[in-house]
Structures are given as C-alpha cells and as structure tokens.
Amino acid sequence: MFRLPCMIFCCFALLAASVITNGQTQKPPAPQQNPAVETVRAIAPPRQPLPPEEASANVTRFSFIVYGDTRGRRDGQAIQYEHSLVVDAMLGTIKKLEKSEYPVRFILQSGDAVVNGRDAKQWNASFVDLINRLTTEGGVPYFLAPGNHDVTPAAELDDPGRKEGLRNYLAAISQLIPPDGAPRRLAGYPTFAFGYGNTFVLAFDSNIAADDKQYEWVKSQLENLDRRRYVNVIAFCHHPPFSSGPHGGTKVEPPAAALRSRYLPLFRAHHVKALFAGHEHLFEHWVERYADSKGRRYRMDQVVTGGGGAPLYSYQGEPDLKDYLKENAAGKVKLEHLVKPGIDPGDNAYHYVVVQVDGERLKMEAIGVDWGRNFRPYRSNKTDLDDSEVLR
C-alpha cells in the first residue's frame, strides 16, 4: 500500500540528483533556436551623389565608367580578388580625371555581382565592401543592373528563386537607386533611370526582357524624354543582343531573342546611342547602323564589357544575323562586328571602359588590368562612338 508514494519519492530524488552536481545547481538546457538569417548589407551611398536632374542641365562634359561580371571564385569566403584589381584601377582613373574637364561622375555595372545572389553571405563577404571603396574613396554613384547569377535566369516574376535573389540585390543597392514610387523607378522592379547633364541612362532587367510591364515603362521613359536636353541616351543591362562567346555564337538565349525583337527596334526609334552589357566575360564591340523614315543615318553602339573579375571566356563563333537583318530590312539595318574577342581566354583581359561625353560626341577607352594592361582591342585602346554616316 506504500508502493506508489515510494515511487513518487524516488522520482523526485532522481530529478534532484539530475540538477545538483557537486553542490551546484545545473540549469536545464535552453530550448534550441533557429540561427538568425543573414541579411545583405546596403552599399554605402556615394560621397558625391548626383544632383537633382534639373541642377545639372548645363553639364555637357564628363566621363563615366562601365564594366560587368564581377563574380569570383571564392564568393562567400573572401573579397573578390580579380574584381579588387579592377576596383584599384578604377579608383586610379577617378583620381586622375578628378580635376580634368571630364571627371568621372558615375559607374555602371551590367550584372552578375556574385555567383549566387540568393546567398546573402556572398554579397556581404565578397562584394559590398569593394563597392564601398568606389562610393566612399572614389566618391561616385554606382548603378548595378541585375544579372542571371544575381536574381536567377527565371523569366517569371513570381519564381521563388528570383524573389530571393531580387530581395538581396535590392538590399545591396537600396541607397544607390531611386526608391519605389519615384518617377525614375518602376515599382517592384530592378528597373530605373537617371539623368545627368546632357545624358540620360536607362537600366533594365534583361532576365525578364519579355516582360510587358517593364517594356512599357522603358518605352514611356523614352517617349516622354526632353531630347533637346538629353542628346545622349544610354542603356545598360546584363545580356547582350549579339555576342560571340559561349552564350552567343550559334546560340540565341531567350533574353537575347527578346532584346532583338523588342528593345532594339525601340532603341532605334528613339536613337539610343549605346547599349552596354556583360554576360560574356570578355570584350567585344558591335555597331548597328540604320536609317529613319526620312533616310537619315544613325548609329547605335553595342558594347559587351564583362571583364570585371569573373573567369574569362573566349571567342566561340559568329551569331547568325540573317533573320534579324531580314526582319529589320525596312530600317536598312546593318551590323558590324567592330571588335571580336580573342580565341583563347588569355587573349582577353580583365578590364573596364571609360566613356567620355563631350556634347553630343562620345569617346570610349578600354582599360586592361593587371597582366592585361596592354589591352588594345582597337589599333589602340580608344575609339569614337561616332562615324561619318551619322547625320545629326
């Protein structure tokens, strides 16, 4: 009859023994908690931000830098080494031109900042602090278009992987681009624009080049632009419409196909002067010449500058242009492959380009980095984005 109380006593004794050891009370283990999810740090705002558009209306001489594809071999573990060499060189260019007639006023990056944009650690450990050097030491604004490695190549806006990558991308550049709801930003998209001096710049997401809402926003920006002021219109995105690296040649990836069918006719209609892209880790230069309804000739330069630090690619062959030229025969479209990349990766250099704006004239210099310092894609490393066929 005393068996049950005895059992209860024994249980209490065992419990007491389990929490008292050598005279010290041991706390029961805390419940296990999920580790905090890492968030992407925002890149520091530029020390010298662009002024409001109306404040720079009279500026007609300046420079800007363009490059792309900075993802590195050790993303998430260390600062991107090859990209750091490019950043060092760009800081040198910014300092060199600071007191000249053509100071560097902003930098454009065409995408693929890191290998996996869904991994916050890759942005924080490998990318953000490098760009902080450009915005603080260099003092210049930095504008990044999303690459397929940043937001995944998904063409669907509601793709879960894309949403995750886009969240990290937008967190990184939250202090650099116009906010949601601003006139120069498409709400909910990584699509934005800005004006400085006599030049207007459009950034759009070529991963979703077939998206109607983005296309209509870009179209409206061009249609409502004051062309008496903005004599130079520049666009940049990740994918090139034409290329001869492993993403081009005989392949036509869906973003390239959408760019050819939708954006290039739009850009010709509004006389966009240059389109900068990356995706191919090399340098090449295409020139598209065309005529308007009155027979006046124009030129649009398409520059692939993907030498920002990602493993270098090489020439793989020419794209088939027959269908594109046939479809655009009414505009007398011609394409010239002005500069082809080297057939070996070692023939192609880590690099960036400096574009000099002098009124309506644009000049470009390709600057090789490290062992590619003698990079000469033309007879020199300089060219005019202009020719005698253009009538203004």
Could you read off the pLDDT of 123-152 as tens digits, one per residue? 999 999 999 999 999 999 999 999 999 999
pLDDT tier at 386, thresholds 50, 70, 90? confident
Q: Name all domains of the chain by residue range, CATH numbers in brackets.
A: 37-384 (3.60.21.10)
Q: What is the pLDDT of residue 29?
A: 54
Asked whether residue 379 carries a pLDDT value surpassing 50, the answer given is yes
Q: What is the pLDDT of residue 21?
A: 43
Averaged pLDDT for residues 244-272? 97
Could you read off the pLDDT of 24-66 as tens digits, one per residue? 444 555 555 555 679 999 999 999 999 999 999 999 999 999 9
Could you read off the pLDDT of 306-364 as tens digits, one per residue? 999 999 999 999 999 999 999 999 999 999 999 999 998 889 999 999 999 999 999 99
Q: Which of 4-13, 320-329, 382-391 has the lowest mean pLDDT?
A: 4-13
Q: What is the pLDDT of residue 30?
A: 55
Asked whether residue 17 carries a pLDDT value surpassing 60, the answer given is no
Could you read off the pLDDT of 80-106 as tens digits, one per residue? 999 999 999 999 999 999 999 999 999
Averaged pLDDT for residues 211-230? 98
Q: How far apart are CA 283 and CA 69, in angstroms?
A: 11
Averaged pLDDT for residues 187-203? 97
Asked whether residue 68 carries a pLDDT value surpassing 60, the answer given is yes
Q: What is the pLDDT of residue 389?
A: 41
